[in-house]
Amino acid sequence: MSRQEAGSAVRWNPLVVGDASGLPFALVDGHAEPPVKTGRRRRHLASKAVFDVLFSIFALALLSPLLVLIAIAVRLSSRGPIIFKQRRHGLNGVPFTMLKFRTLYVDREDPAGTVQAVARDARMTPFGRVLRRTSLDELPQILNVLAGHMSLVGPRPHAIGMLATGRPYEDLVPYYQDRFQMKPGLSGWAQINGLRGPIGDEESAIARIGHDIAYIQNFSMWLDLKIVVLTIRNEFIFGSGI
């Protein structure tokens, strides 16, 4: 469905201003208002790119013993590869291969990613449940950040053809593709505000995209640093993953 077709399917106000957990966002004619390309935004984007590389190198060096131990545990816990690879949407919607530690039995995986894992999912290995709960399965994406496919912070990359409440996301949210204006992130504004994991209802699905748009429109390095700190606290220390 094209943007024009999607927009015509719903009656929109010319200007809609919303709130996403304290960050405002604006929709014009049913689509996200593009962020103003100010000198300040350009400087923050340049700083973001440098921070991504430096933080990724530091994290890989610091976490290398843990990564090796997790890799060995995945290999010993069940048959199959250590790394799960999946094609996902990147900047401007260009696909890339995202990396994760494998958490599902290899014969029960969904390579397309249209069926999301849920709590107590029978497809998960016992060790996979531990990785999901602590979000340690996401650590290989640091390599995606270092390669330039992802950023530490940004809208989470969705699988190509991802469904929300049983239908394509772009059919539910006409401005869905506007989230591709920035690189996908290891974490994002939606995730630290509890909008992560399986989509259970339309309201949550729409709210998740609203948070992505709010992040893009309000981006700054200070916001990125806040999200990084909250992600470490929420995901890796308190283990709020699935």
Segment 116-167, tens digit of pLDDT: 655 566 788 889 999 988 889 999 999 999 999 999 999 999 988 888 888 8
Produce one character per residue of 156-171: b if its CB has 16 or more CB atoms within 10 Å, e if not: bbbbeebbbeeeebbe
Backbone angles phi, psi at 138, to 5 degrees: -85, -10
Q: Which residue has the tokens 């397309």?
A: 112
Segment 172-205, tens digit of pLDDT: 898 999 999 999 999 999 999 988 777 778 888 8
Name the helix (H) or strand (E) containing 57. helix 39-77
Counting residues of the chain whose pLDDT is more than 90, the rounded percentage is 55
Please give the mean pLDDT across all residues of the chain.
Answer: 86
Two tokens at 7? Answer: 């927009």
Counting residues of the chain whose pLDDT is more than 70, the rounded percentage is 84
Q: Strand pairing of 163-164 and 167-168?
A: antiparallel
Closest CA to 55 of 179, 185, 181: 185
Least confident span in 52-61, 109-118, 164-173, 213-222:
109-118
CB 74 within 8 A of CB 177: no
User: CA–CA separation, 29 vs 11, rounded Å?
Assistant: 9
* Residue range 102-117: mean pLDDT, rounded: 70
Q: Domain ranges for the chain, please list them.
A: 3-237
CB 89 within 8 A of CB 157: yes
The pLDDT of residue 2: 37
Q: Which residue has the tokens 């890799």?
A: 71
The pLDDT of residue 208: 93
User: CA–CA separation, 120 vs 128, rounded Å?
Assistant: 11
